[in-house]
């Protein structure tokens, strides 16, 4: 008899402990027997789904709330998947409940076999993710709206730049001063270069990080098409080990490349050029990168980026190098000119000029 009393006491303690666990769980939890009748449920289950213990315990799960839990997807889970697998996690179910409306739930279920293997229980955990799914849909809709607005903005910017470029070119045709005309032509080229950069950033889906080599390849192809045309005496190549940068840095790198390419086309070659080459190289490694634009032309004036009254293109390159926190270095001689920008997170920025 004492042994029997001890076993009974242990069983009662175990039941009380199990009931306390079920009652304490914050997410809805239901304990089912092998016939799918409710043995116990957490207070959060009763509160969330607006049912009471008297009309729940001892009843088939599918009969609760006048059949509101008779859900086809739930039947598949409890009658087919759980007997085969024993455990299931994050099984998503959507259902329209008469009292609380449409709900989206993630179900976790686990089959518990007793020692004699003649009985089993099923623990059914229910996470209501309705609000989370609504927020996710709203976020996706906002992202779609942002993409539409960004595309519209890019389209308007491109049109505006084209209009500005056309006005500048028209004005250049009407002025008498050759110096003023040249300045206007230079300004026109800069506006066109900005429009080209914006176009290719947009076509590259300028969100997050941009792969620089494909981006510069498309950019330089457009520049070659518009500024070199059918002139077979000058070629342009983009090479390097590659790398990715933020869209903001990609825009600045694209503008620098455009300015340096324009500078080479303007100063490095003449009518006698037979095999002119412009090489654009980009090598990136983590946050560090190097961009170089070189040509095999006649060379640029010494210290072109150091002059107090540097040209518009030189001023743009210097300003963008500062913005990119990159070191600007130039070498020029009879073999041509090379301009490089180097971003090294571990080294201070210092601009270098070499003969």
Domain extent listing, the chain: 2-128, 143-204, 207-355
In CATH, the architecture of 207-355 is 2-Layer Sandwich (3.30)
Nearest CA to 260 out of 225, 204, 216 is that of 216
Q: What is the mean pLDDT of residues 241-262?
A: 87
pLDDT greater than 70 at residue 217: yes
Question: Looking at the chain, how many residues does it have?
Answer: 355
Angle between the N-to-C axes of helices 178-203 and 130-174, in degrees from 0 to 180, rounded to the nearest 10? 160
DSSP-assigned letter for residue 52: -
In CATH, the architecture of 2-128 is 2-Layer Sandwich (3.30)
Q: Are 328 and 259 in contact (CB under 8 A)?
A: no
Helices (H), the chain: 2-24, 43-49, 64-67, 72-76, 82-85, 130-174, 178-203, 212-227, 247-267, 312-323
Residues 295-340 pLDDT 10s: 988 866 555 554 544 566 678 888 889 999 999 999 887 788 999 9
Beta strand pairing call for 288-295 and 336-343: antiparallel
For residue 341, which phi and psi values (nearest 5 degrees)? -120, 130
pLDDT greater than 70 at residue 11: no
Note the pLDDT of residue 351: 53
Nearest CA to 189 out of 210, 219, 207, 164 is that of 164
Q: What is the mean pLDDT of residues 104-132?
A: 84
Q: What is the mean pLDDT of the chain?
A: 79
Q: How confident is the model at residue 345 (pLDDT cuts 50, 70, 90)?
A: confident
For residue 148, which phi and psi values (nearest 5 degrees)? -65, -45
CA-CA distance, 206 to 257, in Å (whole number)?
Answer: 18
Note the pLDDT of residue 7: 44
pTM of the model: 0.50
Note the pLDDT of residue 174: 85
Residues 139-182 pLDDT 10s: 888 878 877 776 676 667 677 777 787 888 888 888 888 888 88
Q: How far apart are the first and last CA of the chain?
A: 106
Note the pLDDT of residue 355: 42
């Amino acid at each position: 008899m004492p042994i029997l009393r001890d076993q009974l006491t242990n069983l009662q303690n175990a039941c009380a402990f199990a009931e306390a666990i079920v009652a304490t769980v914050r997410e809805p939890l239901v304990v089912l027997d092998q016939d799918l009748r409710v043995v116990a449920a957490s207070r959060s289950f009763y509160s969330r789904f607006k049912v009471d213990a008297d009309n729940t315990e001892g009843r088939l799960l599918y009969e609760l709330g006048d059949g509101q839990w008779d859900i086809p997807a739930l039947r598949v889970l409890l009658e087919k998947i759980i007997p085969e697998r024993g455990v299931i996690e994050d099984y998503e179910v959507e259902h329209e409940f008469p009292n609380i409306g449409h709900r989206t739930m993630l179900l976790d279920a686990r089959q518990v076999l007793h020692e004699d293997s003649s009985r089993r229980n099923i623990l059914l955990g229910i996470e209501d993710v309705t609000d989370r799914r609504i927020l996710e849909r709203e976020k996706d809709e906002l992202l779609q709206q942002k993409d539409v607005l960004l595309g519209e903005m890019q389209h308007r910017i491109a049109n505006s730049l084209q209009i500005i470029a056309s006005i500048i070119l028209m004005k250049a045709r009407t002025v008498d001063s050759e110096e003023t005309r040249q300045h206007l032509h230079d300004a026109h080229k800069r506006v066109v270069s900005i429009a080209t950069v914006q176009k290719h950033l947009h076509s590259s889906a300028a969100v997050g990080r941009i792969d620089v080599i494909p981006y510069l390849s498309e950019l330089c192809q457009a520049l070659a098409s518009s500024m070199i045309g059918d002139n077979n005496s000058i070629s342009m190549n983009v090479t390097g080990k590659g790398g990715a940068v933020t869209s903001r840095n990609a825009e600045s790198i694209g503008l620098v490349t455009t300015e340096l390419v324009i500078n080479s086309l303007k100063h490095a070659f003449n009518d006698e050029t037979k095999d002119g080459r412009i090489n654009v190289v980009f090598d990136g490694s983590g946050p560090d990168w190097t961009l170089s634009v070189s040509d095999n032309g006649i060379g640029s004036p010494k210290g072109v980026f150091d002059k107090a009254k540097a040209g518009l293109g030189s001023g743009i390159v210097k300003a963008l190098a500062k913005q990119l926190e990159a070191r600007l270095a130039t070498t020029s001689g009879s073999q041509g000119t090379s301009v490089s920008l180097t971003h090294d997170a571990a080294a201070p920025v210092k601009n270098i000029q070499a003969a």
